[in-house]
Amino acid sequence: MENENTRVNLSVFQKSKKGNYYCGDSYFYKETEEAFLCALADGLGSGEMAMESSQAVMDVIEENPVLTIEALVKKCNEVLVGKRGVVLGILRIDFKTHTYSYSSIGNIGVITVEPDGKRNRNIPLAGYLSGYPRSLRVTRGNVQNGMVFLMFSDGVNDRRLSSKLTQTKNVRLITEQYKELYGQTRDDDTTLIAMEYN
């Protein structure tokens, strides 16, 4: 799946765990005049109940796209009371201030690739959202034209997102190459979202 917006190009590769009809990973993205927002949630376990939890979180984010990451996580947590937990990653790019911010709870990975090729791998907070209050860490920085963001669930082995694979700025090429190389081995639900700011 691809999206060629005015400011952020996006491409997604997603596959459910081998043998499962339902994918426990859900994602949402939206671009407005002011900002770009992308979120990825992975429901604990797999199958329909995992999908139900991850989709509930995406519904909250879709209904509240202007909230800060901190406020979004709080609202997502509230909707999970009595449901299966989720791990969650949220990225926001602010076009007016030329900044980005992201947070990751549990095993949702985020890698930033700067225009000069320098890569930064986010270390997510351990644990998951399950309806109980929890601490949060938000990483912030300045966004540059040509910067690439990769967000992925634990079905993606981040060692496979090598600098060779990500040296292109073409997000469709990144997801297509990943699919060709590793799309067949799926021990878990797999989602890779590649985004380029321009």
pLDDT at 2: 59
* Average of per-residue pLDDT across 124-130: 92
Instruction: Provide the strand spans (E) within the chain.
Output: 2-4, 8-15, 25-31, 35-43, 86-94, 99-105, 109-113, 119-121, 139-142, 148-152, 190-197
| pLDDT-above-90 percentage for the chain | 65
Highest mean pLDDT among 8-17, 94-103, 129-138: 94-103
Label residue 161 by pLDDT band (50, 70, 90): confident
Report the mean per-residue pLDDT for the chain.
89
Highest mean pLDDT among 9-18, 58-67, 156-165, 174-183: 58-67
Residue 139 pLDDT > 80: yes
- pTM (two decimals): 0.92
pLDDT at 21: 67
pLDDT at 56: 95
- Our CA dihedral for 195, 149, 42, 21, rounded to 10 degrees, sits at 40
CA separation (Å) from 127 to 30, 71, 81, 87? 26, 19, 16, 7
pLDDT at 1: 59
pLDDT at 3: 59
Residue 4 pLDDT > 60: no
* Average of per-residue pLDDT across 58-78: 94
Burial 11-47 (b: 16+ CB within 10 A, else e): bbbbbbbeebebbbbbbbbebeeebbbbbbbbbbebb
Rounded (10°) angle between helices 48-63 and 69-79: 140
Q: Of 66-70, 101-105, 132-136, 165-169, which range is least confident?
A: 165-169
In angstroms, how far is CA 181 from the centroid of its own chain?
Answer: 21
Residue 198 pLDDT > 80: yes
More confident residue, 163 or 195: 195
